[in-house]
Every structure is written in C-alpha cells, then in structure tokens.
Amino acid sequence: MKVVKHVFCFRAPALTTSFLFLLLLLTHVGYCQSASVKDSQAPLRLFIIGNSFSQNASKYLPQLTQEAGHQLIIGRAELGGCSLQRHWEHALAAEQNPEDSKGKPYGGKSLKMLLSEGVWDVITLQQASILSGNIDTYQPYARQLYEYVKQLQPQAKVVLHQTWAYRIDSKDFSQISSKKSAQSAKQMWKESRKAYHTVAKELKIGLIPNGDAFWAINSSPVWAYRMDTSFDVNQTISPALPKQDHSLHVGYFWNQDQLGFDSHHASTAGCYLGSLVWYSFLFDESPAKLTFHPVEIDKPFAEELKKTAWETVQKEKKQFTYK
C-alpha cells in the first residue's frame, strides 16, 4: 500500500476529481498485478539440518522473504550443539531400527521422516561450531549425510552453512586438531573457513558464507565490537552491563541476579546479519532495498549489515564455484 499512499499526497489543482480517481484506480490495479505475479511463484522449500547456530542465522529470514514478496517454506532438523557426526548417527540408527528412539530425536521423528514430508529445493548442512576448525571432524559424516539426503531428495541442492567464530573476548574457541584449540577469534575463523571450503570442494557443493560475513564486521575498523575495558565483572551490580555496541554475539546479560556471558551465539544483530546472508544466497538478490530490521539495530548499522551480507555472498559465489 505504500504506492497508494504517495498518490494521496500528490496535489495538482488543475486535475479534476475524476482524473484523480482514475489515477488512483490504475495505480492500485498495477500494484495488485505486481503482487499477484510474486504470489503465483512457487515457494522456495528450504530444509535446515543444524543446531542453534542455524536457528540464529535464519531467525529473521521469514520477515525478509515476506517483505521481498517471495514465498518460503522452512523444514528443520535442529538439535542444540549437534555435530555432523551426531546427525548421521541418528539417521543411521533410524535406518537400522525404525523403532529405535535414538533415530527419532527431532520431536519424535527421524531425519528420513522429516525429509519425506515434502520436496525440498535446498538442504543445508553444518558442523558444530566447537568442532568447526578441525577438518578431521567433518569426514566421513559430511559425505555420508550428503549422500543420504541426496538419495531421499535427489533434486535438492545441498549446501554447507558456514558457522562463525566466537567473540574476541571468548574464553574458548573451536578445535583446530584433536589436541589443540584456536587461540583467538581470528584463528578460529581462518581454520573453520579452510575446513568448510575443503569439504565444499570435495562434495562439489556451495556454501552460505555466514562465517565470512561475521568476520567482515568483526574485523572492520569502523563497525567491529570493541571490549569495554572499564567494565569489571567482579564488581558489577544488576542491571549494569558493559558497552557492547555492534556486538554480533550475545555477550554479557543478566539472568535475574546472575551475570551471564555467551560469546558463541548470535545477538539480535548477529541473527539479522545471518538472515541477510541466507536471503542473499537463496534468492540471489541484494537485501539493500528491504526496510525491515529489528528495532534494537540502528539504521546505519542495519545498512552496513545489508551491504556486508550481499558483498560476502557475491564474493563467495565468484571465488568458490564448485559445479
């Protein structure tokens, strides 16, 4: 209805009432025709195999998709902290014994049952973030899951969802080998990125580059989160919190009288950036024209996140084309 609103604001004394009514009618008809074209398009059917990180990254995808006039159906097989190995072991258990509860961890359903509930266009896989920097943890499970879902949904496009590095002040970072962990957010991002691209190349599939988009913001001299060195966690009293401007991670928060800290999961801004990356990848459209953003994010930062999401996806598709 935004188009119609501008017609009401137009003033031209020379125009007759009948002409204005005709202009309004034509504008409304044109608007309805445009909307009906998008409404007639088949919905994109997306199935996500992941964990809380995929939930974070797709949180605002429905709002973005709706504003753009697209239709989207999302199916989910997500378990907190779930790795590729665990998803595969659940699927295997269901194949070996359909009555085994281990094979039905997704609300009493197996992965096969969920995938069989429709025809899916895109299916995503991801590694648990704490293992994301260790390439040895991806195989053989990434390939086993890939082949399993392709057997059930041969027409689907299977892609990897690249998870992100933890916040720079995290107390831990991902594995980079069986006996070693990354020592910084930058090292976690680098090793995780290498692992995801290695697997994507081996499977000849695409990748949703959320990890790269997060790092583009987290390494920006203008937009990156900066630690509040004046904040003393041992002396603070509720509801006081440190400055956490532009943090893409939850960070410090109060749970009643207990100060909590989550350097892993995405904040509102991180969820928004993640959803912008998914939108850009799935629809191959810049989100620049979209106006939706959570109220917690100011407009300049929202614009930067939209720009970063689109540029990151374009760079990924240009540099890493496996098919």
Give the residue-averaged pLDDT of 97-121: 97
What's the helix, strand, coil split of the chain in %, to 5?
45, 15, 35
Higher confidence at residue 26 or residue 319? 319
The model's confidence at residue 263, banded by pLDDT at 50, 70 and 90, is: very high
CATH number at residue 310: 3.40.50.1110
pTM of the model: 0.87
Q: What gap in Å lies between CA 271 and CA 303, rounded to an integer? A: 15
Give the residue-averaged pLDDT of 6-25: 36
170 in a domain, yes or no? yes
Residue 1: closest CA among 26, 23, 36, 32: 32
281 in a domain, yes or no? yes
33 in a domain, yes or no? no
Tens of pLDDT, residue by residue over 210-235, are 999 999 999 999 999 999 999 999 99
Q: What gap in Å lies between CA 217 and CA 270, rounded to an integer? A: 10
pLDDT of residue 32: 31
Asked if 222 and 241 touch (Cβ cutoff 8 Å), the reply is: no
Asked if 215 and 277 touch (Cβ cutoff 8 Å), the reply is: no
Percent pLDDT > 70 in the chain is 87
19 in a domain, yes or no? no
Residue 191 has pLDDT above 70, yes or no: yes
185 in a domain, yes or no? yes
The model's confidence at residue 11, banded by pLDDT at 50, 70 and 90, is: very low
4 in a domain, yes or no? no
Number of domains comprising the chain: 1
pLDDT of residue 185: 98
Q: What gap in Å lies between CA 235 and CA 266, rounded to an integer? A: 26
Higher confidence at residue 9 or residue 143? 143
Average model confidence (pLDDT) across the chain: 89
pLDDT of residue 24: 37
The model's confidence at residue 322, banded by pLDDT at 50, 70 and 90, is: low
Tens of pLDDT, residue by residue over 20-73, are 343 333 333 332 323 333 445 899 999 999 999 999 999 999 999 999 999 999
Residue 3 has pLDDT above 50, yes or no: no
Asked if 272 and 279 touch (Cβ cutoff 8 Å), the reply is: no
Q: Which domain holds residue 135?
A: 44-223+265-319
Tens of pLDDT, residue by residue over 237-262, are 999 999 999 999 999 999 999 999 99
84 in a domain, yes or no? yes
The model's confidence at residue 136, banded by pLDDT at 50, 70 and 90, is: very high
Higher confidence at residue 100 or residue 8? 100
Residue 175 buriedness (CB in 10 A; 0-12 / 13-18 / 19+): buried
Tell how far CA 124 is from the center of its chain.
11
213 in a domain, yes or no? yes
Sequence-distant (≥ 6) Cβ neighbours of residue 22 within 8 angstroms? none
